[in-house]
Amino acid sequence: KAGVTQTPRYLIKTRGQQVTLSCSPISGHRSVSWYQQTPGQGLQFLFEYFSETQRNKGNFPGRFSGRQFSNSRSEMNVSTLELGDSALYLCASSSGTEDGYTFGSGTRLTVV
């Protein structure tokens, strides 16, 4: 079966711009979570969506937002980009157990 698909794989944006990243979960998975990976901080939880509702949010500024659609696909938006937002953004979908947490390959965002 298809895994978690994230698009685009790579993205270069300029400071001050906004960006939207997309995640298609594994079919049947209703929970989608987003993580930011940076060399200094490791993987940090951004937010989790379940059935179109945000269930939990990490400690990130309001410039980071997301949403989930009725087909469980999710988007993440970052507005007013800063150089420090350069990172690998990972999406994970879940079948309902912690072991069912499957990650996509990520979107590498570079802010210049």
Partner 1 sequence: DQQVKQNSPSLSVQEGRISILNCDYTNSMFDYFLWYKKYPAEGPTFLISISSIKDKNEDGRFTVFLNKSAKHLSLHIVPSQPGDSAVYFCAATYSGAGSYQLTFGKGTKLSVIP
H-run or E-run covering 111: strand 107-111
Q: Where are the beta strands (DSSP E) in 2-86?
A: 5-7, 10-13, 19-24, 31-38, 42-50, 53-57, 64-68, 74-78
Taking the complex as a whole, the smallest distance from the CB of residue 16 to partner 1 amounts, in Å, to 28
Which residues, numbered 10-69, are part of the site for partner 1 (CB under 8 A)? 31, 33, 35, 41-45, 48, 50, 55-56, 58
Q: Which is nearer to partner 1, 14 or 39 (CB)?
A: 39
| Residue 101 binds partner 1, judged by CB under 8 A | yes
Taking the complex as a whole, the smallest distance from the CB of residue 98 to partner 1 amounts, in Å, to 6
Residue appearing with tokens 């659609």: 69
Q: Round to whole Å and give the CA distance between 89 and 83.
A: 14
Query: In the complex, which residues of this chain contact partner 1 (CB under 8 A)?
Result: 4, 31, 33, 35, 41-45, 48, 50, 55-56, 58, 90, 92, 94, 98-99, 101-106
